[in-house]
Amino acid sequence: MGRHSRILRPIVDHEPVSNGHDDLIRALYQEFGSSLMAFVLKLTGHDRQWAEDVVQETLIKAWRNAGKLDRQPEMLRAWLFTVARRIVIDGWRSRSARPQEVEELESDSIGVPDESEKTLAAMIVYEALRDLSPEQREAVQQTYLRDRTVNEVAATLGVPPGTVKSRIHHAVRALRRALQERG
């Protein structure tokens, strides 16, 4: 308490006049400004600009109420932190009550998704699949496109699982080559 008393003592000893109010605000900011800012930063989600506005508004309220304030440092600190917390709460409420402002975009700048890359890729893969043998294409379609296991495909096609694996292996190599050739 000694530190607080020393800083605020000149203000406590005499009744504030217009000059005294200014001295009070300077003393409050010097004594509590950094801790008040840290407190408000946490409340505002670390929005520095908003926090600075809240601290400023809190000190303005202290200036307006200078004649009514209890000048004990502990009471001043509690009053400042309570006022700041209420200002932030009001800010959160007003932000949630009205829709967030959005800049209006010019129609020229509105992006339309370009599906041409996907379409081109699908066409290239389709052509590469057509170049496979019918057995390889069936093995790839059953395993990759229909998400079946090698054993399920083998049972459907009536061939051993090793044959399905071999067809898939050769088909993937052929597809890789074909796709590299097509870019």
Q: At 55, which CATH number?
A: 1.10.10.10
**Does residue 3 fall inside a structural domain?**
no
Predicted structure pTM score: 0.45
Within a domain: 5: no
**How far is the CA of 8 from the CAs of 49, 123, 159, in angstroms?**
28, 79, 93
> Under a CB-based contact definition with an 8 Å cutoff, are residues 64 and 86 in contact?
no
Residue 14 lies in a domain: no
Distance of CA 47 to the CA centre of its chain: 13
Phi, psi at 104, each rounded to 5°: -80, 130
Coil, helix or strand for 68?
coil
Torsion sign (Cα): 122, 125, 130, 135: negative
Q: In tens digits, what is the pLDDT along the chain, a chain of 183 residues? A: 444 433 343 334 344 444 566 787 888 889 999 999 999 999 999 999 999 999 999 999 988 988 888 888 889 899 999 999 999 999 888 877 766 666 666 656 566 667 777 777 778 777 888 888 899 888 888 888 888 899 998 998 899 999 999 998 998 888 888 878 876
**Within a domain: 104:** no
Does residue 134 lie within any of the structural domains? yes
**Rg (the chain; Cα; Å):** 36
Would residue 101 count as lying in a domain? no
SS3 assignment, position 103:
coil
Residue 72 confidence (pLDDT): 87
Q: Distances from the Cα of 72 to the Cαs of 5, 35, 45, 60, 87, in angstroms?
A: 8, 17, 30, 19, 22
For residue 110, being part of any structural domain is answered with no
Is the distance from CB of 178 to CB of 170 less than 8 angstroms? no
Domain total in the chain: 1
Q: What is the pLDDT of residue 101?
A: 66
Range of 174's domain? 20-96+115-182
Specify if 132 maps to a domain: yes
Residue 111 has a CB neighbour count (10 Å cut-off) of 6
